[in-house]
């Protein structure tokens, strides 16, 4: 069911794209700005179409809680393409983003970096407010509202997170989470170029967030770019060690990243609450059966002697 909707959507967007592309460029004397506006309009229509389609098609799909079912636990039909995109992203990260983040951390002291993080977070607060309201999470929406007003004024335009000091911690919400709360399924895993791990729901969410963000409309073109780049460097600089260790210690970097993204999003959607039905390792029977693996023996094997003799 869900798959058919995705195919139909793909077809519809292709036709729409061709129509609008022709509209944008058939007139030879069209200015670049006019063409851009028309393409933007195309983006808006596509985003809306996607939202409607996914809500209609995938909302009814229920996720089984069976962790032995690989179809569910790894919903990744485009794995081959995703792996290629991941490799490209990793290369871009290795030659551009990661070095820039490292230089940033090297030059700017922690105090300065925290100010930048706070300011960027403050610019993101309106989106948190809107999505909090759309999810009818009134407490979180109110928290975001208060944070935005305190930090923008007393916090000198968000440079200082004074709201945190009075117990108003950040409550990040985005439209991907809103769709999830509206019981839209996540769909297949997607590795987006530059943006990284995602899925149709969160990709649509990202687009919608862009349009609902008042700062996107208030800022000028180059300011928007500056803000996006700053946000990229800021986020990357905060996870330098974590990402390096993950890359080193995982035997399948892509699969580890995919699973981390999925679980991280799940946690964000639940707003940090525990899942109602905790996934339980169903392995107690093996404790009785297991003769091949002896915990006591492994205790002996892994004593200090063995390590020092290596």
Partner 1 sequence: MKLFYVLSLWGIVGRRQTVALVALLMFLLSSFGALASAADDQAGDVVQSLGERAISVLGKKEGSTFVEREAAFRTILVEGFHIQTISRFVLGRYWKTATKYQREAYSDIFVDFIVRVYASRFDAYNGETFEILKTIKAGTEGDMLVRTRILRPSGGTPVGVDFRVRMIRGGYRVVDINVEGISMLHTHRVEFASVIKRKGMDGLLEELRAQVEARGSAAE
Positions touching partner 1 (CB under 8 A) are 67-68, 70, 73-74, 110, 169, 241, 245, 248-252, 254-256, 258-260, 263-264, 266-267, 270, 272, 274, 277-281, 283-284, 286-287, 290, 292-295, 298-299, 301-304, 307-308, 310
Q: How far is the CB of 292 from partner 1 (least distance, A)?
A: 5
Q: Please provide the DSSP assignment of 15-54 as one string.
A: HHHHHHHHHHHSSTT--HHHHHHHHHHHHHHHHHHHHHHH
Q: Measured from the CB atom, is 229 or 235 closer to partner 1?
A: 235
Judged by beta carbon, residue 31 or residue 309, the one nearer partner 1 is 309
Measured distance CA(136)–CA(198) in Å, rounded = 24
Nearer to partner 1, 1 or 251 (CB): 251
Query: Nearest distance from residue 23's CB to partner 1, in Å?
Result: 44
CB of 276 to partner 1, least distance (A): 11
- Tokens, residue 80: 């081959």
**Minimum distance of partner 1 from residue 181's CB (angstroms):** 16
Of 33 and 251, nearer to partner 1 (C-beta) is: 251
Q: Report the distance separating Cα 267 and Cα 29, nearest Å.
A: 51
Are 146 and 165 spatial neighbours (Cβ–Cβ below 8 Å)? no
How near is the Cβ of 274 to partner 1 at its closest, in Å?
7
Looking at the Cβ atoms of 181 and 256, the one nearer to partner 1 is: 256
CB of 38 to partner 1, least distance (A): 42
**Burial letters 231-248, b for 16+ CB under 10 A, else e:** bbbbebbeeeeeeeeeee
The answer to whether 20 and 42 have CB atoms below 8 angstroms apart is: yes
Of 221 and 292, which has the nearer Cβ to partner 1? 292
Which residues make Cβ contacts (< 8 Å) with residue 170, sequence separation at least 6? 121, 128, 144, 147, 164
Cα–Cα distance between 305 and 39 in angstroms, integer? 67
C-beta of 236: minimal distance to partner 1 in Å?
16
Toward partner 1, which CB reaches closer, 28 or 110? 110
| SS3 state of residue 127 | helix
Q: Which two tokens stand for residue 2?
A: 């869900």
Rounded least distance, CB 13 to partner 1, Å: 30
Contact 206, 198 (CB under 8 A): yes
Q: Which helix (H) or strand (E) holds 80?
A: helix 79-92
Instruction: List, in sequence order, every residue forming a beta bridge with 192; answer none if it has no partner.
Output: 196
**Is the Cβ–Cβ distance between 21 and 70 less than 8 Å?**
no
Instruction: Closer to partner 1 by CB, 230 or 255: give it.
Output: 255
């Amino acid at each position: 069911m869900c798959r058919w909707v995705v195919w139909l959507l793909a077809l519809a967007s292709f036709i729409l794209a061709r129509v609008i592309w022709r509209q944008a460029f058939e007139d030879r004397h069209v200015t670049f700005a006019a063409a851009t506006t028309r393409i933007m309009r195309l983006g808006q229509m596509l985003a809306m179409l996607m939202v409607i389609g996914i809500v209609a098609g995938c909302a009814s799909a229920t996720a089984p809680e069976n962790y032995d079912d690989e179809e569910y636990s790894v919903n990744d039909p485009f794995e081959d393409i995703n792996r290629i995109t991941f490799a490209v992203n990793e290369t871009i990260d290795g030659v551009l983003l990661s070095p820039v983040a490292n230089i940033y951390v090297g030059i700017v002291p922690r105090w300065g970096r925290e100010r930048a993080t706070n300011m960027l977070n403050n610019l993101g607060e309106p989106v948190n407010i809107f999505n909090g309201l759309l999810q009818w999470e009134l407490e979180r929406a109110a928290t975001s509202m208060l944070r935005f007003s305190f930090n923008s004024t007393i916090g000198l335009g968000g440079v200082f997170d004074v709201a945190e000091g009075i117990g108003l911690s950040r409550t990040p919400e985005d439209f991907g989470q809103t769709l999830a709360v509206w019981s839209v399924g996540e769909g297949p895993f997607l590795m987006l170029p530059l943006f990284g791990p995602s899925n149709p729901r969160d990709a649509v969410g990202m687009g919608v967030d862009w349009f609902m963000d008042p700062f996107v409309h208030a800022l000028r073109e180059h300011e928007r770019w500056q803000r996006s780049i700053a946000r990229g460097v800021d986020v990357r600089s905060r996870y330098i060690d974590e990402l390096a260790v993950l890359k080193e210690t995982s035997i399948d970097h892509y699969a580890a990243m995919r699973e981390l993204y999925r679980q991280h999003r799940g946690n964000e959607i639940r707003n940090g609450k525990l899942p109602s039905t905790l996934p339980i390792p169903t392995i107690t029977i093996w404790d009785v059966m297991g003769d091949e693996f002896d915990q006591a023996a492994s205790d002996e094997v892994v004593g200090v002697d063995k390590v020092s003799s290596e």
